[in-house]
Structure 1
Amino acid sequence: MHLSAASLRTCPATRQAPSYDRTSHAPGVVHLGLGAFHRAHQALVFEQLLAAGDMRWGIHGVGMTRPDLVHQLQAQDGLYAVRVADGTGVKWQVPGALWRMNVATTERAAVVQAIAAPSTRWVTLTVTEKGYTPLLAQLLLDGLRLRQQTGLPGITIASCDNLQGNGHKLQALVKAAAHAHDGELLTWLDAHCAFPCSMVDRIVPAATPEVMAAAQEALGVQDHCALSTEGFWEWVIEDRLADPRDAALLQSTGVRVTRDVHSYEEAKLRMLNGSHTAMALMGALTGRPFIASCIGVPHIRAFVHQLMEREVAPHLSRSDWADYRTALMARFGNPYLKHSVHQIATDNSQKIPQRWPPSVLGQIAQGAAFEHHALAAAVFVRYTLGVDEQGQAYPLNDPQADSLKAFGAGQRTAPEACVRALLAREDLWGSTLPEHAEWIARVMHWHQHVMQHGVDASVQQLLAQTA
């Protein structure tokens, strides 16, 4: 038997499940990017509001490119299990917030109509860094134009992706898609719609057969969409909403509504995401499959701790960064989170520019060392070879995969030229680092060490030098 609205009644009563009516109301939220993260994060926030009786927060979920996931969720009436596991124990939840589903690539008109529906109050997005394209902007603009033409109120459009100033970037993207004759629409957007910046934080690995098997044991039914996540979550959103009354509602669920999103955003990008990328690359090369496998190695754990304390934290405005780092170290080691290093290492060309260079530039400005980031960059260059230290090949899942592999192919025969070529790319490192001689020299030093002695020996050497 599969999980569905009918079979949910047979699941153990100890499992948290929706008790409200999911069929009598229209969704109030359109979410673009119906992946694991949204379903284990924002959807659970909206679930709290629905469970409290506010039926305006049901979700119309949009899969941007994955019809298989949408069809699986449709077959399960939008239901799926979430395992929440950390040091306090394990619990299962079956949220009911996902009410309707479409696929953007094949059902575009339905998505536009959903954005323009009278019941829609919010649009949220988790389309990843590479998803901010003119096609996305036009999809949103078409729905918003229809709202404006039919006299409907404006809405909140909230980016929840790992982009600095994500609300500003999304607003600029949408307005750029408007033509010169859309002056009335642009005026309406400015007056009635809100594009708040936000930061979301929760570790949500991709679904695995192990989680599906655990879900079946816990619920007694098959669930092809089951997820696993940690107890920790954070959502910080700018106090700039189309309906200002939503701020108090979100705060009642644990969301932080503030004018200062930036300090949380930069800390997450540079501490969590920056460390994640470094560990993922090390794990990919050493054959360690999960983040927990990496942080469990004493020298990698020490490297990550020092990276955050010595090279990232000095340039953060988040005052409680030390507590955040302590929580991160515990979260990385959560044994229930089988967070694949190769999953985290996808789209490096889109992620590294936001995660590493700001800290390196901060160190340079202070005349401080940047050895940890230089070693991480050297490991990234080595990663572009597409084969680990045991000789096992792996794919480079990246929009720039072909060019990265082309740059990285010469590492064994002409390593210096290869490193210089990759470090010269401004799309990766910005305009300053490609011209910084000491940065280039230190990355080249560590690259040579990694090529000759391997990742583990290089990390241990760095720790010995910085003790």
Structure 2
Amino acid sequence: MMKSIESCFTHSRHPVRVLQFGEGRFMRAFVDYAIDVANEEQGFDGNVVIVTPRAARRPEAFARQKNLYTVRLQGQQDGRKVVSNRVITCIDDVLSPVADYDAYMALARLDTLEYITSNTTDGGIVFSPDDKLEDRPPRTYPAKLTQFLFARYQYFDGAEDKGLIILPVELIDHNGRTLRSCINQYAALWNLPAAFLQWLDGACQFTDTLVDRIVTGYPDEQTAQAIQKELGYTDELLDVAEPFALWAVENPGLEKRLPFTSTYFQTVFASDITVYKERKVRILNGAHTSMVLGAYLAGLEYVGQCMADKDIRPSLEQTVYGEILPTVPMAPDAVRSFADAVFERFENPFVHHELLAISLNSTSKWKARILPSLKDSLAATGKLPRWLTYSMAALLAFYRSEDKGDDCLIGHRGSDTYPIRDDADRLAFIASHAAMPDAGYVTAVLKQADWWGEDLTAIPGFSQVVTAHLARMGAIGVRAHIREMVNGS
């Protein structure tokens, strides 16, 4: 019989310095991984208490395993295969603010507490006027945090040295500033004293951050059993991730306090992290969005397949290195090395990233990830970048259908069908225009300024070139058109 993880390992002994809202796979393989390594290698000397933002009771798996679990990193880095296992021992406790409200709020009185971090989903940092100060606890995360910080302010009588550093990792723009804005709204709603807001200003820091690591979590059961046999113990919280990790923190003053950079984790501190976000969105996310729709129509299913494909890979290389990289406002070496790392990540044999999963809401993704690069390239060269222009035609080809399903359109790839998922009004518009001739269909979609932030037909020549791409795909097939473009036709 295999041993259990709690019979093989014990907790590290450090004061609780971090309160973490969110127990999901990303936080465990990202924030907690970074802290655990920093404790061992950099003398960070801090353990974590996790709060489950929504769960009505403590997750039983944590209790059974005494809050121990394994992070397994699998993939490629710097041209070599990486398989690394680490048992995370820095979690002191996992609390439900519903079931353990008093124990949770007692942490506000903890002298050693210095940091709060969170991942409450992209829609977690919101204001709701229904939350009340006396709720046990309030519903939203910002309301919970306002209540917690006010309790700390009261207990320590507004002591300057008892303020906290808040490091949200939710994937929204200006996550720290947005969280602080919500807290201001709750302070006004609850008539909290002005001195509390002054304490937040003087003693606390709300820091914008950007995070990047692919975390796949618990693997399929057959793979999990094989990994646990290799490890020699059972672990129902096993968390699998890629080796690459980046945490950009918009607060250079924290660099010495947060020594999180290690072999498989990079932390950068800057007065403005916008450039890191732009680099990630344009290169990593832009590569996905520019590639996946055409690649799927060309017969592929996964990102890894695309990287091994004789047509799709060179098309992506020409897109990223030839058209996207020159638009990123960062030192060329830093941009190039990030792009090289992105290609390694896409090649990861342990990650099976479905193209259809990436295809969700492609209209808004194209606007955010491709359009800025296309416009900057046009401004710099005076010419429309052909691959980024092609990516719009691929989107229109992928979306073009009159067949309606449950909350989606039904696309056709040969004899196969696939779901097209986006905002309902956008799908309805596509369905009502899909039967038009190519030029009319392209013009109708590009004119939707509320989709793209502007009328894209106003870009000289854009609708004509997109129409030509779409027509060629219809005439010879998507893969043949990609091959022509790769070869310079």
TM-score, scaled to structure 2 = 0.77
For the residues of structure 2 that align with 1:69 and 1:301, how far apart are their CA atoms?
Answer: 46
Cα offset for 1:274? Answer: 1.5
Question: Taking structure 1 as reference, are residues 116 and 68 closer, same or farther at Cα in structure 2, changes over 3 Å only?
Answer: closer
Instruction: Name the structure 2 match of 1:6.
Output: 6
Of the structure 1 ranges 78-87 and 109-118, higher mean CA displacement relative to structure 2 is found in: 109-118
Which secondary structure does the structure 2 equivalent of 1:372 belong to?
helix
Partner of 1:56: 46
Structure 1 residue corresponding to 2:33, chosen from 44, 48, 64: 44
Paired residues of 2:397 and 2:470 also in contact (CA < 8 A): yes
Give matches, 1:115-264, under 5 Å: 116=108, 118=110, 119-134=112-127, 135-151=140-156, 153-179=162-188, 181-182=191-192, 183-205=194-216, 207-209=218-220, 211-239=223-251, 246-247=257-258, 249-250=259-260, 254-264=266-276
Give the CA deviation at 1:402. Answer: 2.4
Please say if residues 4 and 75 of structure 1, whose CA atoms lie closer than 8 Å, have aligned partners that are also in contact: no
Q: In the alignment, what sits opposite 2:482? A: 459
Change (3 A) 1:251 1:230: closer
Structure with the higher strand share, 1 or 2: 2
Which residue type is aligned with residue 373 of structure 1? L
Q: 1:387 aligns with which of 404, 411, 424?
A: 411
Map residues 72-111 of structure 1 onto 2, 5 A cutoff.
72-85=61-74, 86=76, 87-102=80-95
Confirm or deny that 1:341 pairs with 2:355.
Answer: yes
Q: How far apart are the structure 2 equivalents of 1:378 and 1:169?
A: 35
Q: Deviations over 1:172-205 (max 9, x none)?
A: 4443454274444333222222222333222333
**Residue 346 of structure 1: CA displacement?**
4.2
Does the 8 Å CA contact 2:5/2:65 hold for their aligned counterparts?
yes
Q: Deviations over 1:234-283 (max 9, x none)?
A: 22222256x77514x33577522233423222111110121123334345
In the alignment, is residue 113 of structure 1 matched against residue 105 of structure 2? yes
Q: 1:30 pairs with 11, 19, 24, which one?
A: 19
CA distance in 2, matches of 1:156, 1:44: 19
* In structure 1, distance between residues paired with 2:57 and 2:487: 49
Q: For each residue in 1:316-340, what CA deviation from the matched residue of structure 2 results, as whole angstroms up to 9, or x when unmatched?
A: 2221211222222222112122233
Q: Is the 8 A contact 1:121 1:155 kept in 2?
A: yes
Contact map agreement 1:285 1:387 (CA 8 A) in 2: no
Aligned partners of 2:277, 2:123: CA distance in 1, in Å? 18
Secondary structure in 1 matching 2:394: helix
| Aligned-partner Cα distance in 2 for 1:160–1:263 | 17
Asked if 2 retains the 8 angstrom alpha-carbon contact of 1:82 and 1:229, the reply is yes
Structure 2 residue aligned with 1:267? 279
Question: 1:28-47 CA deviation, whole Å, 9 max, x = no partner?
Answer: 32334433332222221111
Equivalent in 16, 21, 25 of residue 12 of structure 2: 21
| Counterpart residue number, 1:369 | 384
Structure 1 position 299, deviation (Å): 2.0
Q: Aligned partners of 2:342, 2:392: CA distance in 1, in Å? A: 21
**Is the CA contact 2:70–2:239 (under 8 Å) kept in the aligned structure 1?**
yes
The number of equivalent residue pairs is: 449
Residues 277-311 of structure 1 show CA distances to partners (whole Å, capped at 9, x for unaligned) of 33343454455332111111122212222222232
Structure 1 unaligned spans of 5+: 10-17
Offset from partner CA, 1:97-128 (integer Å, 9 cap, x none): 34433568x66957973874524422223345
Query: Structure 1's 147 and 292: CA in aligned 2 closer, same or farther, altered over 3 A?
Result: same
Contact 1:215 1:226 in 2 (8 A): no
Give, in whole Å, the separation in 2 of the partners of 1:308 and 1:140.
41
Question: What does residue 301 of structure 2 align with?
Answer: 289
Provide the C-alpha distance between the structure 2 equivalents of 1:29 and 1:395, rounded to a whole number of angstroms: 42
Could you give the per-residue CA deviations for residues 18-62 of structure 1, whole angstroms, max 9, x where no partner exists? 65436xx66432334433332222221111123355442324153
> For the pair shown, which has the larger CA radius of gyration, 1 or 2?
2
Classify the secondary structure of the residue corresponding to 2:344: helix
Provide the secondary structure at the position in 2 that maps to 1:298: coil
Separation in 2 of the partners of 1:59 and 1:334?
32
Aligned equivalents of 2:445 and 2:60: distance in 1?
A: 41
Distance in 2 separating the partners of 1:419 and 1:103: 51
How far apart are the structure 1 equivalents of 2:104 and 2:465?
Answer: 50
Alpha-carbon distance in structure 1 between the residues aligned to 2:164 and 2:440: 51
C-alpha distance in structure 2 between counterparts of 1:376 and 1:115, whole Å: 50
How far apart are residue 3 of structure 1 and its match?
7.8
Taking the aligned partners of 2:359 and 2:335, their CA distance within structure 1 comes to 24
RMSD over aligned CA atoms reads 3.7
- Of Structure 1 and Structure 2, the greater helix share is in 1
